[in-house]
Amino acid sequence: MANVEAIKQKIVDIVQKEYRLGMVNMFEGNVSAKVGDRVFITPSQVAKDDMTKDMIIEMDLEGNIVDCPEGLKPSSESKMHLEVYRLRPDVKAVVHNHSTYATAFAMNNMPIDTKALTEVNLTLGVIPVCKYGTPGTELIYADLKNVIGNLYAVLLANHGLLAFGPTLDIAFSYAEGVEKVAQTITIAGRIGAPSNIPDAEIEALRQFGSAARDAAIAKSLAD
């Protein structure tokens, strides 16, 4: 089994990195990692600056608590993390935050979609919006099964961003990438009309990117 203590520390490192970058406020957001049939997730209502690896909570894939330090409880969004792992067995890490530009798109119920950037079309594809659901309940992820596909990030309507991947570092990189793309799209629209890539090229980029994601998922499941 992977080094659980190292994974717990990596979860804390990513949470604190998000806080330093302004992707979450002190008590916002949550991060988890799956190791075998166990999930390790950040605790609820613990200040990011104060969080340590010994506070990370261990659960099974049904949401039963295996190990939880006294006085703590798992993130209120833990069921949403478990749903990602259920829908996508290839995923080993989930990052949820309220980064500013991505959340602005989510507030406007707008997918992150552009024909003017090659990288987003190749790597991420169109970032869809899950229908609104009350945070902390099963409703917040009820629509996830309809939009997750082979993507590595989705928006949560009126709430924030959910990114995921085969490792904690990669999941964070998708969260960071989506925020940067959302910011770039917003700025480009303010200063002028973006110069779109031809439709045929966009379609080719998206097809290539989707095939690459399918291949990565298949490889992950085979390993």
For residue range 84-133, list pLDDT tens digits in order: 999 999 999 999 999 999 999 999 999 999 999 998 999 999 999 999 99
Up-side HSE of residue 168: CA atoms within 13 Å toward CB? 24
Cα–chain center distance at 98: 10
Cα–chain center distance at 41: 13
Query: Across the beta sheet with 93-97, what order do the strands follow?
Result: 65-67, 57-60, 38-41, 30-35, 93-97, 160-165, 153-156, 129-130
Within 110-166, strands assigned E span 129-130, 153-156, 160-165
- In this predicted structure, the answer to whether residue 49 has a pLDDT above a threshold of 90 is yes
Cβ neighbours of residue 187 closer than 8 Å, sequence gap 6 or more: none
Place of tokens 């928006």: 155
For residue range 126-164, list pLDDT tens digits in order: 999 999 999 989 999 999 999 999 999 999 999 999 999
pTM above 0.85, yes or no: yes
